[in-house]
């Protein structure tokens, strides 16, 4: 049932409301002497006073601030519809929910499309018969399409006639237009400023925005011009190339410059090119600019200026090379290298595991050292630090510092099941089996682990057969959100409940042995029945009622209350019956379904 909303109820007559206020004015203030010149006397409160003027009235004491909706109340969601469609094509159906926010049944007697271009709009699932009754709190959902036969925008209306006392004819505005493709960058150009030879600039953000109506697939993102410009997605889980942007979607990108050859005092330009597979928005160009400037004296830069270790399992180590580069005009003397913790536990701080080969850097000289990250404790927000390379200018004796940011996330390897237990429908014994069910072990953490085996435990496990699984005895690597799937068949040989547990073996840190309960029951008869109490139904859609066992279609009978029903259909794929719109059973009624269960073949027992 659609969510309830505050009823939209207006006063039935503004003039009556104003006259009531006038009466209250007289009652509260009486025939007192001289009226306040700032307050209008009652004789000016007439039919022509609009509701917008009520804000200027004096406080008349306690009064009702809200109106209680009684009777039927139609509430459209949304109040207007926009339907974009490709030229000459029909749009995707857009839903309009007609919700009854009142206290008594809403009777919808007519739904019509109006306007000069009404033939371009189609109500694709209008009720088969009108009127349609919508109970309080329930809704009727209809879908509208638009055929873009003409360029530009076309206006139309959909009119709903009902027994809503103050909105008998509800008019919903429809806007159909030719769908467009649009890709925009904000900002459209970036000046990354100045950069020392051999060092890198800071990072600058540019946001790609799908400002059109269609999804855009990004087929190529590259740099043209000076290849010292670099880029990457700010969200490493959302790749740029091969990624898709839905209408209104945003993709933030970092852009920076690494100076590997731009001479002091020179400027350079480049372009960030973003190519899509849409002919209307084939190529987006972001202009890039940079200038090189060499500092006088002793100066050192760290490359890269952002050192990201990514996600790493607790207890493991990762070493990355880091470069120091003398960018100035005089030699520099390296003193110490350390990391200051900004966020995270101190035991996770990266350390220098291999120092630079030389501690004296001549102008233009590069040296490499090794920084190692070994997270020992979990930090939910990750570990963040500032790398310091402390150095000295031998000529002036000045102590200086170069800095870079260090990031990493120490994480547990975490496994879980995609559901708590697997319940098999009852199976007839002997000689019958179940449909195949799937148990899934999921990597719910951020770092990979290995699934390497499984076993079945429990007194009823002789009735369960694992017919497909990851290779046993080998590492099946699960990255974040990957799953290991186990196909299980239930083939009972006796009547009664058969409990069993599938145990998945892995090197995950939280549950090296993940237990997934399996429940199945053998029964001695194929005759079955299910009962459902009817709840809130959407009057504009089919009403479905599921069956607990796979059914033989021709054996199904349905009874609602004391009445046999034959106006139902059977959805074989979903193993459920349904009633079409206009034939729904009443709310609170009992639907009883009897049938004969299928006997599925045995696979291995």
The string of pLDDT tens digits covering residues 352-406 is: 999 999 999 998 899 999 999 999 998 877 899 999 999 999 999 999 999 999 9
In this predicted structure, the answer to whether residue 537 has a pLDDT above a threshold of 90 is no
3-state secondary structure 8-75: CCCCCCHHHHHHHHHHHHHHHHCCCCCCCCCCCCHHHCCCCCCHHHHHHCCCCCCCCCCCCCCCCCEE
Q: DSSP secondary structure string, 178-225?
A: E----EEEESSEEEEEEE-TT-B---EEEEEEE-SSS-EEEEEEEEEE
**Whether the predicted pLDDT of 70 surpasses 90:** no
Question: What is the percentage of the chain residues whose pLDDT exceeds 70?
Answer: 88
Look at domain 300-411 and name its CATH class. Answer: mainly beta
Greater pLDDT, 362 or 64:
362
Domain spans of the chain, in order of start? 1-68, 74-178, 183-292, 300-411, 415-523, 527-596
pLDDT tens per residue across span 35-57:
443 333 333 333 333 333 333 33
pLDDT of residue 39: 35
| For range 147-152, the mean pLDDT | 85
- Using the predicted structure, report yes or no on whether residue 488 has a pLDDT greater than 90: yes
Q: Is the model more confident about 396 or about 22?
A: 396
Assign domain 415-523 to its CATH architecture: Sandwich (2.60)
Domain at 183-292, CATH from 3.40.50.10300, 2.60.40.10, 1.20.1560.10, 1.10.3210.10: 2.60.40.10
Q: Which CATH number fits domain 74-178: 2.40.10.10, 2.60.40.10, 3.30.420.40, 3.40.50.300?
A: 2.60.40.10
Condensed to tens digits (0 to 9), the pLDDT of residues 328-348 reads 889 999 999 999 999 999 999
- Predicted pLDDT of residue 3: 38
Higher local confidence (pLDDT), 275 or 70: 275
pLDDT of res. 236: 63
Query: What confidence tens digit (pLDDT) does each residue in 447-475 have?
Result: 999 999 999 999 999 999 999 999 999 99
pTM confidence score: 0.53
Q: Give the residue-averaged pLDDT of 210-227.
A: 91
70: Cα within 13 Å, side-chain hemisphere: 4
The reply to whether 74-178 and 300-411 are identical in fold is: yes
């Amino acid at each position: 049932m659609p969510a309830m909303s505050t009823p939209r109820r207006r006063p039935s007559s503004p003039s009556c409301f104003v006259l009531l206020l006038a009466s209250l004015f007289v009652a509260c203030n009486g025939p007192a002497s001289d009226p306040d010149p700032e307050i209008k006397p009652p004789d000016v409160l007439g039919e022509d006073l609009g509701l917008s003027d009520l804000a200027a009235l004096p406080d008349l004491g306690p009064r009702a601030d809200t109106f209680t909706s009684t009777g039927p109340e139609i509430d459209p969601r949304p109040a207007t519809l926009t339907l974009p469609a490709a030229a000459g094509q029909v749009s995707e159906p857009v839903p309009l929910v007609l919700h009854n926010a009142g206290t008594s049944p809403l009777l919808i007697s007519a739904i019509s499309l109006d306007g000069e271009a009404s033939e371009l709009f189609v109500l694709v699932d209008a009720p088969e018969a009108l009127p349609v009754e919508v109970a309080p709190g329930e809704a009727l959902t209809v879908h509208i399409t638009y055929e873009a036969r003409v360029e530009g925008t076309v206006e139309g209306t959909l009119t709903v006639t009902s027994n809503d006392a103050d909105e008998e004819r509800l008019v919903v505005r429809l806007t159909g237009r030719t769908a467009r493709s649009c890709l925009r960058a904000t900002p459209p150009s970036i000046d990354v400023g100045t950069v020392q030879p051999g060092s890198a600039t800071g990072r600058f953000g540019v946001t790609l925005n799908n400002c059109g109506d269609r999804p855009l697939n990004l087929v190529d993102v590259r740099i043209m011009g000076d290849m010292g410009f670099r880029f990457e997605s700010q969200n490493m889980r959302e790749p740029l190339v091969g990624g898709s942007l839905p209408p209104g979607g945003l993709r933030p990108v970092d852009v920076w410059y690494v100076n590997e050859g731009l001479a002091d005092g020179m400027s350079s330009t480049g372009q960030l090119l973003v190519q899509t597979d849409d002919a209307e928005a084939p190529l987006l160009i972001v202009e890039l600019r940079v200038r090189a400037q060499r500092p006088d004296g002793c100066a050192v830069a760290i490359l890269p200026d952002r050192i990201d270790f990514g996600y790493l399992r607790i207890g493991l180590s990762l070493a990355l090379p880091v470069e120091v580069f003398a960018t100035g005009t005089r030699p520099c003397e390296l003193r110490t290298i350390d990391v200051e913790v900004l966020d995270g536990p101190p035991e996770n701080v990266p350390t220098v595991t291999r120092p630079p080969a030389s501690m004296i850097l001549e102008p233009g000289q590069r040296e490499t050292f090794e920084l190692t990250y070994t997270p020992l404790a979990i930090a939910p927000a990750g570990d963040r630090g500032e790398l310091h390379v402390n150095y000295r200018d031998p000529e002036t004796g000045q102590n200086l510092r170069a800095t870079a940011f260090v990031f990493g996330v120490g994480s547990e390897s975490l496994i879980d099941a995609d559901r708590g237990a697997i319940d098999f429908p009852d199976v007839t014994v002997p000689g019958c089996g179940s449909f195949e069910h799937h148990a899934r072990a999921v990597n719910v953490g951020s770092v990979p682990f290995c699934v390497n085996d499984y076993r079945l435990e429990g007194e009823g496990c002789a009735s369960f057969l694992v017919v497909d699984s990851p290779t046993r005895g080998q590492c099946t690597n699960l990255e974040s959100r990957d799953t290991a799937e186990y196909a299980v068949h239930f083939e009972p040989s006796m009547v009664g409940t058969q409990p069993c547990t599938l145990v998945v073996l892995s090197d995950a840190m939280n549950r090296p042995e993940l237990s997934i309960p399996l429940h199945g029951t053998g029964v001695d008869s194929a005759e079955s029945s299910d009962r459902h109490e009817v709840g809130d139904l959407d009057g504009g859609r089919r009403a479905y009622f599921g069956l607990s066992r796979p059914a033989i279609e021709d054996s199904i009978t349905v009874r609602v209350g004391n009445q046999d029903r034959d106006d139902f259909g059977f959805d074989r794929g979903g193993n459920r019956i349904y009633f079409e719109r206009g034939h729904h059973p009443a709310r609170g009624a009992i639907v009883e379904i009897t049938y004969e269960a299928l006997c599925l073949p045995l696979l291995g027992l």
